[in-house]
Structures are given as C-alpha cells and as structure tokens.
Structure 1
C-alpha cells in the first residue's frame, strides 16, 4: 500500500505549480495552465484512495518539471501583449 503524500506536500506542490503557470508570458498559455492546475488539484483534493492520490501526486510532480521548462521557453520567445491584457504603461488621452 502506497503512503499518501502529506497535506503540506500537496499544498507546496500546488503553490509551486501555480507560480510556474503564472510565469508564462503568453496570456493564453498562462490562463490555460492556471486553470488546468486548479482543476488538477481540485481532483486530488476530492480523492479518497491513498494509492490513487499518490499516483496523482507523482504525476503532478512530473508535470511541474515539464511546465517549468515550457515556461522558460515561453518567456524567451513570448510575443507581444494581447488586447485583453491590462496595459497600464499605455497612456490614454485623458491621463495627461
């Protein structure tokens, strides 16, 4: 029987994954991975079987490594900002 990860370990992994997901420079990728992270960990929160919880935790650890590498590449080759993103550095006519 597999020992399930502690609540503290799961929360730490969640925060690390969420931080990595938010580091994407591309708006669409960033929002997708934040949403996916939240859905993944909600599923882990509802899981009762310790073996399945351990398996989901181990899979999330592997996905964090992949997500981190993808975020670095996205930061290197990120494009321009989209119109839906907040652009606080652009001044409007009323700001003068």
Structure 2
C-alpha cells in the first residue's frame, strides 16, 4: 500500500472511531466501535490498489451511515428532554 493510501486509510479509520464514540447509548457505541475495528482488522493485509479503493469507498459510505444514525440518535435524545 502506498504511503498516501495508507494515510488516507488511517485517517478514515480514526474518523470512524471518533464518530462511533459519540453515540450516547453504550450498546450502540460499543457495537459501532467493534464493527469498525473488526472491519479494518479483517482487511489489514489487502495490497491490491483497486481492492483498497473499493474498501475505502465502503468505509466512506459506512461513515456517512454512522453520522446519519448519530444525528438521528442525538435529535431523539433532545426531543425526549
């Protein structure tokens, strides 16, 4: 994996962990963190540039999903107050 690709992967990984850690619910938070860690660990040794790019796109989509769910959970939390 090229240095630029590695830094992009690590940046995506850190962002996904940061966003996952924001869930107010313990169960949602731990599930999201575990899924992110497991997915990156399972694909740690992928070297093919096309496969890396495909996985990066999957990661970006998953990050968008996490952010949408987080926004929804936080808005529900405020509505219940």
What's the TM-score bracket when you normalise by the shorter of the two chains?
A: 0.7 to 0.9
Q: Unaligned 5+ residue runs, structure 1?
A: 79-96
- When you count helix as a share of all residues, which structure comes out higher? 2
Structure whose alpha-carbon radius of gyration is higher: 1
Q: CA RMSD, aligned part only?
A: 1.6
Aligned length: 75
Tell me, in whole angstroms, the C-alpha distance in 2 between the residues paired with 1:76 and 1:24.
12
Tell me, in whole angstroms, the C-alpha distance in 2 between the residues paired with 1:8 and 1:44.
15
TM-score by length of 2: 0.82
Tell me, in whole angstroms, the C-alpha distance in 2 between the residues paired with 1:48 and 1:11.
15
Q: Unaligned 5+ residue runs, structure 2?
A: none
1:24-70 deviation per Cα after TM superposition (whole angstroms, max 9, x unaligned): 11111100000000011112322122221111111101110111010
